[in-house]
Structure 1
Amino acid sequence: MQAASRRTSVLRREAVLATVPVAVAALLAAAGPASASTVGGSGAGDPYFPLSGNGGYHVGHYDLTLRYDTTSRHLDGTAVLSARATQRLTRFDLDLKGLKVTRVTVDGRTARFSRNGQELVVTPSRALAKGREFHVAVSYNGTPGPVTDPDGSADGWIPTDDGAFVAGEPQGAMTWFPANSHPKDKSSYDFTITVPKGRTAVANGVLVGQHTSAGRTTFRWRQSEPMAAYLATATVGKFTVQQYTTRDGIKVYNAVDPREANGSASVLKELPSVLDWESRLFGPYPFRSAGAIVDHAPSVGYALETQGRPIYDSAPDLSTLVHESAHQWFGDSVSLTAWKDIWLNEGFATYAEWLYSEQHGGDSAQKTFDALYAKPAGDALWAYPPGDPGSGKNIFGEPVYARGAMALHELRGAVGDTVFFRILRAWAGEHRYGHGTTAQFVKLAEGQSGVDLGSLFQTWLYKKGKP
């Protein structure tokens, strides 16, 4: 993600059960209450966002059916979650905020439910045995709106003058569908979105169907590769659409608000070459689809790496495109297990910008590093360490981006270019469609290089103040 509103000194520019890594179940089983409990945890155990995600089950697939009226801003939704219990469950939670739930079933049987803040508490008619696969169907409706994050920015379902800008990092998925909304839990998705004729509804993955009837158009999208809930989108607006397939077989779908068409045309032309360049550096592109959603949403203030198809609040520049595209490897395919490790997403995507500049006639990464390091000790860049920013308020601040990138540049200097780029490819390859932690990255870097890197990472990721 990138946004001017979420950091100060540096411009932010920012299928089914079997397809999801088995490690996810183990991660979720460790969260929430003790295994002897039959109640799923109301959170995934993340100290920055204690109520995000849930314990006791893993969602393998979401089937979302949505109908949105852009005039009244009313949303009708049905979500069917295919899940597996990671413990015996007499009750479990889903994350859902601000919408009215009218019915919940578990395996076709009516289930009791209640609301507790952002928690939808579900009590099935029969207890679910550990390891059991089950289906939860939730019918809901209302006027969705965004949540306000700890840093004051908005995310989730953000209404626009012609539809909605839908970007869920870090906690906004719950504003438009019931979810196990933490990056620990990754799932495949199907979206069926009906909007007024003349509007386009853009989600993740591949467009598998579109038809118009009785003044409304329905779009069907399929995201087969595992995806964290915050990376899902269902953006609606008046868009000009461009579709093509790259020489590598990637299906590209660009949706551009006509008001942003002139400003974005030259940059979007570079998307295939950017993906090709990043594929050479980081390994094969991880998804079947790519593209961009360029909306006209001046109040938003950021872009987001929505999986396979980043969303921009206005026409992006080339650095922003490089940044959000790099996230497809670092953040989308390889996901976080805890928000404190956000530098693994943002530091890597920021360093991709530095590398692109270096290899395309711009400033070298060293020159960019030196300019940043010249900032005085009291500058915001050194306000807190990027490896553990300390709160949800800080996860999109300058240290996470710029100092996170500086840590990678220091690693590059310590191990040399050949080993450094081998580390990046190994990280993206070994954790493809899964998760990673800072400790795992350090271990991999030391294994690939044969160098003790503990002091380097301690200094650049965890030491307070200017290194």
Structure 2
Amino acid sequence: MTTAPHARLRRTALAVGAALLLPGGLAQAVPPGGSPGAAGIGDPYYPDYGNGGYDVGHYDIAVSYQPATDELAGTTRIKARATQALSRFDLDFVLPVSSVRVNGRPAAYTQGEHELVVTPRKALHDGERMVVDVTYAGVPSTITSDGISPWIRTDDGVAAVGEPEIAPWWYPSNDHPRDKATFDVRVTVARDLEALGNGVLVSQHTHRGERTWHWREKKPMATYLAFFVVGQFDITRWRADGLPVVTAVASDGGSEGEYAAADLARTPEVIRFESRQFGPYPFDAMGGVAPAADFGFALENQTRPVYTRGFWRNGPNIYVVVHELAHQWYGDSVSVENWRDIWLNEGFASFAEWVWSEKHDEGTGAELFSAYWDYYAGNSDFWSVIIGDPGAHNEFNGAVYDRGAMTLQALRTRVGDDAFFTTMRRWAAERRYGNGSVADFIALAEQVSGEDLGSFFDAWLYTGTRPEPTAENGFPADFQPGSLAAARRTVPASWAQIRQTHQRLVSLEQRR
């Protein structure tokens, strides 16, 4: 997937960046004992993403939203544990805050461009449980930071969807994939609107013309994967393989909506297929959402991806569904250790499309590999991208998807199907609900295959040139590069649709 650019808050008159006072006029003071938590979790690309000093277990979020004015008001309760003696700590958040409480007591706070800095009245002990309550309100679409604003207003509502930035525009958090948590999300909207979210629908109730939708995700989830979408939808609910399925397509979506609904209805079929390839499905619900907007990308929101409806402009497109659902294993259940490890998400989900193509007789992995090799033959810009470390704000470069999938097909050729798919399944199983780095995956591939793969991965992931077409680099023994050989190759039936899908998946990168 790819997502909208990020914001480092430009404060409005509602949000005063100066030190705030506690109720009763008490000035902020650092209590004795402990030390401040770090303002970032340590990601080399984004130093102020995430925070140090605590670990979140659960978010309980309640927001109300008015589509006409884009006004959002909310309260978020964060249940966490201090991982050090903690005098103060940061939350990633950009909306104006009106109060903060820690363990039931008012806390001092300041707000900067991206950080909400909280000083509890009493320092927290290492290992101490902490409950943080934040109350806030604002207009998310008016807040831009570092030239980035990920908030998406739709024809009839909103889509709070983005990667790596979206959480700070609607709830305070420790915003990095390393700190996963479980979620309860309640969204209150006008009763004639629907609100979709992650996981299982716990309840919905109406009161005085409004309706509150309560969604729950019980498996650990990265903060950027939490979402809500508001609008008028045709919602379909059923059960498949013992799990609840919820799909939602914007009402009056025309032919795009019809194609989207038909492909999203195949979600259980795709999940069964990918389970056979990658291991058991890791979550307790499934589905998909196509809002009333063409925002240029799809995102693998946990249990329920969100798709721009433009993916269906030219007809059916099962490949984007295959891609986003593969992320449930690679990206959602197993998340990146740092954002530079993004190949583990996008290369893997792109390769899943190749497997679907192969198993459905629309082109083998080897044929797709050859087609991509020829397509990018003279494209030095494509080959110059170091997909194992693409750089900040370049995570969703097209090479991460396409060269990323080629890397996995080359690895498959190099080590054989048994070792390759064993590696893929073990990666998903052994790091289930956790995190991993590219170095971790390389180590696993070498362990499973019994081969030294250092030069192979250097060629594919860490070299800004086209790999040499050698057996060591995972090319078939009969591979014949060159224009005459290319003319003899079979172009897979899936080639055009996969190419179009990937062009849209990376389109948001251009907005950074």
Deviations 1:25-79 (A, max 9, x none): xxxxxxxxxxx97101111111211111001111110000111112221111000
| Structure 2 counterpart of 1:360, one-letter code | H
Superposed displacement of residue 420, structure 1: 0.9
* Structure 2 residues not aligned, in runs of 5+: 6-32, 312-316, 468-512
Sort the Cα spacing of 1:368 and 1:154 in 2 relative to 1 into closer, same or farther, 3 A.
farther
Aligned counterpart, 2:122: 126
Deviations 1:93-116 (A, max 9, x none): 00001x210000000000000011
Aligned counterpart, 2:42: 45
Determine helix, strand or coil for the equivalent of 2:372.
helix
- Is the contact between residue 240 and residue 257 of structure 1 (CA under 8 Å) also seen in structure 2? yes
Determine helix, strand or coil for the equivalent of 1:404.
helix
| Structure 1 counterpart of 2:321, one-letter code | L
Aligned counterpart, 1:15: none
1:283 and 2:283 correspond: no
| Structure 2 counterpart of 1:304, one-letter code | L
1:87 and 2:96 correspond: no
User: Structure 2: how far apart are the matches of 1:252 and 1:408?
Assistant: 31
Determine helix, strand or coil for the equivalent of 1:241.
strand
Superposed displacement of residue 161, structure 1: 2.2
Match of 1:169 among 163, 176, 184: 163
- Is the contact between residue 377 and residue 466 of structure 1 (CA under 8 Å) also seen in structure 2? no
Aligned counterpart, 2:219: 225
| Structure 1 counterpart of 2:105, one-letter code | R
Determine helix, strand or coil for the equivalent of 1:445.
helix
- Is the contact between residue 257 and residue 296 of structure 1 (CA under 8 Å) also seen in structure 2? yes
Superposed displacement of residue 153, structure 1: 7.3
Aligned counterpart, 1:160: 154
1:8-407 correspondence to structure 2 within 5 Å: 38-97=35-94, 99-145=95-141, 155=150, 157-246=151-240, 248-258=241-251, 259=253, 260-298=256-294, 300-314=295-309, 316=311, 317-374=317-374, 375-392=376-393, 394-407=394-407
Determine helix, strand or coil for the equivalent of 1:91.
strand
- Is the contact between residue 2 and residue 163 of structure 2 (CA under 8 Å) also seen in structure 1? no
When normalised by structure 1's length, the TM-score is 0.89
Superposed displacement of residue 413, structure 1: 0.5
Aligned counterpart, 2:10: none
Superposed displacement of residue 380, structure 1: 3.2
Between 1:324-333 and 1:404-413, the stretch displaced more is: 404-413
| Structure 1 counterpart of 2:176, one-letter code | H
Determine helix, strand or coil for the equivalent of 1:90.
strand
User: Structure 2: how far apart are the matches of 1:2 and 1:261?
Assistant: 22
- Is the contact between residue 380 and residue 465 of structure 2 (CA under 8 Å) also seen in structure 1? no
Determine helix, strand or coil for the equivalent of 1:373.
helix
User: Structure 2: how far apart are the matches of 1:43 and 1:168?
Assistant: 20
- Is the contact between residue 70 and residue 141 of structure 2 (CA under 8 Å) also seen in structure 1? no
Aligned counterpart, 1:14: none
Superposed displacement of residue 422, structure 1: 1.0
Sort the Cα spacing of 1:456 and 1:326 in 2 relative to 1 into closer, same or farther, 3 A.
same
User: Structure 2: how far apart are the matches of 1:426 and 1:310?
Assistant: 24
Deviations 1:416-459 (A, max 9, x none): 11111111110000000011111111111111111111111111
User: Structure 1: how far apart are the matches of 2:265 and 2:391?
Assistant: 39
When normalised by structure 2's length, the TM-score is 0.82
- Is the contact between residue 257 and residue 309 of structure 2 (CA under 8 Å) also seen in structure 1? no
- Is the contact between residue 357 and residue 364 of structure 1 (CA under 8 Å) also seen in structure 2? yes
Superposed displacement of residue 190, structure 1: 0.3
User: Structure 2: how far apart are the matches of 1:220 and 1:429?
Assistant: 30
Aligned counterpart, 1:424: 424
Determine helix, strand or coil for the equivalent of 1:182.
coil
- Is the contact between residue 267 and residue 321 of structure 2 (CA under 8 Å) also seen in structure 1? yes
Deviations 1:298-350 (A, max 9, x none): 2x210000111000111642110000000000000000110000000000000
Between 1:434-443 and 1:324-333, the stretch displaced more is: 434-443
| Structure 2 counterpart of 1:293, one-letter code | V
- Is the contact between residue 300 and residue 325 of structure 2 (CA under 8 Å) also seen in structure 1? yes
Identity across matched positions, percent: 47
* Structure 1 residues not aligned, in runs of 5+: 7-35
Sort the Cα spacing of 1:64 and 1:422 in 2 relative to 1 into closer, same or farther, 3 A.
same
User: Structure 2: how far apart are the matches of 1:266 and 1:90?
Assistant: 53
Between 1:369-378 and 1:380-389, the stretch displaced more is: 369-378
- Is the contact between residue 327 and residue 345 of structure 1 (CA under 8 Å) also seen in structure 2? yes
RMSD (CA atoms): 1.8
Structure 1's consecutive aligned runs of 4 or more residues displaced over 4 angstroms after TM superposition are: 146-150
1:439 and 2:439 correspond: yes
- Is the contact between residue 68 and residue 193 of structure 1 (CA under 8 Å) also seen in structure 2? yes
What is the aligned residue count?
431
- Is the contact between residue 237 and residue 246 of structure 2 (CA under 8 Å) also seen in structure 1? yes
Sort the Cα spacing of 1:153 and 1:282 in 2 relative to 1 into closer, same or farther, 3 A.
farther
Larger radius of gyration: 2
Determine helix, strand or coil for the equivalent of 2:181.
strand
